[in-house]
């Protein structure tokens, strides 16, 4: 599956690397043939994924599986989805930690 979308996924990784991300957030990739920074990982979906870790009073981790329906989207749409998912994840962690704002 990943091989068919390799160019699109390379562009996605490049776009994510180009955006400004909170310094408390670490982004790792498990996309065989494109970028693998996560140690021997396998996401819940068993396929390629992007993992983001947020260090706010501890380390909180979330996977964004790159499912077939996501792979049909443009790299730009996927970056928007990644950004939205990351912001919601951070808000959820902050809300749990610091109370509703």
- What dihedral do alpha carbons 85, 13, 36, 38 form, nearest 10°? -30
pLDDT-derived band at 40 (thresholds 50, 70, 90) equals low
Residue 11: predicted pLDDT: 94
Q: Which of 5-14, 28-37, 41-50, 73-82 has the lowest mean pLDDT?
A: 41-50
Q: Which spans in 21-74 are helix H? A: 68-71
**CA pair distance 101, 58, nearest whole angstrom:** 20
Question: pLDDT over 70 for what percent of the chain?
Answer: 88
Counted domains in the chain? 1
State the average pLDDT for the chain.
86
Query: Whole-structure pTM over 0.85, yes or no?
Result: no
Range of the domain at 75: 3-98
Residue 96: predicted pLDDT: 82
HSE-CB for 10 with a 13 A CA cutoff: 7
């Amino acid at each position: 599956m990943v091989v068919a979308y390799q160019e699109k996924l390379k562009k996605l990784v490049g776009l994510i690397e180009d955006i400004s991300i909170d310094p408390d957030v670490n982004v790792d990739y498990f996309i065989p043939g494109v970028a693998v920074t996560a140690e021997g990982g396998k996401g819940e979906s068993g396929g390629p994924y992007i993992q983001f870790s947020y260090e706010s009073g501890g380390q909180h981790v979330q996977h964004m599986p790159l499912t077939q329906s996501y792979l049909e989207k443009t790299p730009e749409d996927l970056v928007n989805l990644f950004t939205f998912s990351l912001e919601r994840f951070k808000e959820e962690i902050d809300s749990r930690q610091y109370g509703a704002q």
